[in-house]
Amino acid sequence: MSTPINNGEVILSVRDLQVKFDLRGRILGAIREVSLDIYKGETIAIVGESGSGKSVFTKTFMGLLDANGKITGGSILYDGKDLAKFKNEKEWLGIRGREIAMIMQDPMTSLNPLKTIGQQIAEAVTLHRGLKGAEAKKAALQHLADVGITDPERRYDQYPHEFSGGMRQRVVIAIAIACRPKILICDEPTTALDVTIQAQILELIAGLREKYDLTVVFITHDLGVVAHVADRVAVMYAGDIIELGKTDEIFYDPKHPYTWALLASLPQLGERGEELFTIKGTPPSLFVKIHGDAFAPRNPQALKIDFVERPPYFEVTPTHKARTWLLDPRAPKVDPPPFLKLLHEKGGALK
């Protein structure tokens, strides 16, 4: 896996992004001042549990937040434009599909049941490349073949219900690719599929990344997938990126207690006969302002300062940083849980 990040060119740069949701008058701070640079050509994985804000975070890149969600601060720089300032649909239409495309979680519902597969791909082709009629069909057929659908001529005129889940996800990918985007956001693209199909889809996405020179943002809570596809990993917790680094750094030298806990709960690390590790407690309510380290209440080894002040990022290596007071030189030495060492030994099994 290539890691173009050291000399890479930043394609999308998020600075201090804040997203709030208005839920019947109560304000929920879903994204709390998150910054992230995404490099051209890389595959970056954003991991975190449900509700950590990973989907919301990437939806802001395309202006697809639900109506009650709003960007309340920060910027998203792409191609010299600040996407966070976009107001109307017209501005977004220049970005959606054309620059940034998205694959969604559930292929069973992502396609319009009343339109043929071909129509739905051709629609994207026409929209973004201005091809019409027979030309659009030709391009759509090409994309069907691209994503590994055999006999595209016949499949072109079929409807989504005539496709299996894995095949539909391929079609969804074909639609995304047909837009010729520069960034492809994959929002848990394999969660709804069974394991054998998962691997095929991941491989397909990796192949298309090469072929079309894509930058891929992977959203997932499956660390197995992360190990498989990502160059870099951003770990999100309670609307914040708490650790960011190359995949190896996150897996073999994690620094944040939450990342430890997350890795410790990998079933692959469990001992036969022992109970699997789980993180006690629940994520904090995002309705109230969070003080200090959001993970502190669930962290048995939390320091006093964790409850008081939000930790800044501490740099571990130029490519690896984490938001935890443990990295402060004044902090007492807290060792990562010993079984994380197992990851080194068993690590190969993840890939």
Q: Which residues bind another protein (CB under 8 A)?
A: 62, 64, 89, 93, 95-98, 101-102, 104, 106, 109-116, 123-124, 127-128, 158-159, 161-164, 172, 175-176, 179
Minimum Å gap between C-beta 167 and another protein is 9
Minimum Å gap between C-beta 14 and another protein is 18
Minimum Å gap between C-beta 99 and another protein is 9
Cβ closest to another protein, residue 142 vs residue 158: 158
Minimum Å gap between C-beta 210 and another protein is 23
Query: b/e per residue, 20-46, with b = 16+ CB within 10 A?
Result: bbeeeeeebbbbbebebbbbbbbbbbb
Cβ closest to another protein, residue 105 vs residue 324: 105
CA atoms of 112 and 80, how far apart (whole Å)? 34
What does DSSP say about strands 320-322 and 240-246: parallel, antiparallel, or unpaired?
Answer: antiparallel
Minimum Å gap between C-beta 307 and another protein is 39
If residue 195 lies in a helix (H) or strand (E), which one and from where to where? Answer: helix 195-212
Cβ closest to another protein, residue 101 vs residue 216: 101
Cβ closest to another protein, residue 83 vs residue 95: 95
Minimum Å gap between C-beta 221 and another protein is 19
CA atoms of 65 and 59, how far apart (whole Å)? 6
If residue 36 lies in a helix (H) or strand (E), which one and from where to where? Answer: strand 26-39
Query: Cα 80 vs. chain centroid, distance in angstroms?
Result: 23
Q: Which tokens go with 100?
A: 């940034």
Minimum Å gap between C-beta 347 and another protein is 35
Alpha helices in 230-294 (DSSP H): 247-252, 257-264
CA atoms within 13 A on the CB side of 333: 1
Cβ closest to another protein, residue 64 vs residue 305: 64
Minimum Å gap between C-beta 89 and another protein is 6
CA atoms of 27 and 69, how far apart (whole Å)? 10
Cβ closest to another protein, residue 6 vs residue 196: 196
Cβ closest to another protein, residue 73 vs residue 148: 148
CA atoms of 149 and 170, how far apart (whole Å)? 8
Dihedral sign, Cα of residue 196, residue 202, residue 206, residue 209: positive
Q: Could you give the C-alpha distances from 9 to 1, 81, 230, in angstroms and in order?
A: 17, 16, 17
Cβ closest to another protein, residue 95 vs residue 326: 95
Non-local (6+) Cβ contacts of 300 within 8 A are none
* Phi, then psi, of 333 in degrees rounded to 5: -80, 120
